[in-house]
Amino acid sequence: RGNVVDPDQLIVRYGADTVRVYILFAAPPEDQLEWNERAIEGMHRFLNRVWALAERAKAAPTAPATGDLRRATHAAIKKVTEDIESFKYNTALSALMELVNTLSTAPAEAPGLREGVEALVQLLYPFAPHLAEECWAALGHAEPLARHPWPTYDPAALVTTEATLVLKVNGKVRARLTVPADLDEQAVRARALADPTIQK
């Protein structure tokens, strides 16, 4: 709406994958799209971050993911799968951006970095097939990504074992407390009140 953008010029400048990802992210399929030149540049940067992650993960250990990386990877697999099935492409792409942020902060030697990046590339494939295939090959896979099965998530990986609580006194954050997720309210309260900062 309100634009006469020539897609050929954008494809020459940014590539077909960037244009496709931007269109799918900018608005749900049933809504009109208001074109924003700066936003397409943001999508281009996002795809460049995916490529940089794939390059970094080439030398990463193949050990399975644990902890936050495993939880983030499997949460993204679940979210993207469900969103694609219900045509919510913009929220599926948001989940992929969150996964990119999580993977980008992980050290190169972190167990599960490679697993996370491979899942990211697989999940990105319906949106950016050219880049995804290139990343898949860069990760050392001989078989094309198009022939690889869709990833499935492990429900056990989504179970949170710890929760971080923000402790406020008089409306000001005074401390953060990490506790087991299944701890009852009385025990959480006791731990919070035992914190030296809170006692002060």
Token digits for 36?
Answer: 């924003």
Contact (CB, 8 A) for 69 and 96: no
**pLDDT category of residue 166 using cuts at 50, 70 and 90:** confident
- pLDDT digit string, tens, across residues 176-199: 888 777 778 888 888 888 888 888
- DSSP SS3 for 58: coil
- pLDDT digit string, tens, across residues 21-33: 998 998 777 777 7
Contact (CB, 8 A) for 119 and 145: no
Place of tokens 């609580």: 165
- What integer pLDDT is reported at residue 3 of this predicted model? 60
- What integer pLDDT is reported at residue 149 of this predicted model? 94
CA–CA separation, 123 vs 129, rounded Å? Answer: 10
Which of 158, 94, 155 is closest to 123 using CA atoms?
Answer: 94
**Half-sphere exposure in the Cβ direction for 132 (13 Å, CA):** 20
Quote the crossing angle between the two packed helices 67-85 and 89-105, to the nearest 10°.
170
- What integer pLDDT is reported at residue 4 of this predicted model? 66
The pTM of the full predicted model, rounded to 2 decimals, is 0.77
pLDDT at 125 over 90: yes
Instruction: Return all residues near 31 (Cβ < 8 A) that are at least 6 apart.
Output: none
- pLDDT digit string, tens, across residues 92-119: 999 999 999 999 998 888 888 899 999 9
Place of tokens 């913009």: 90
Type and span of the H or E element at 198: helix 196-199
- What integer pLDDT is reported at residue 167 of this predicted model? 82
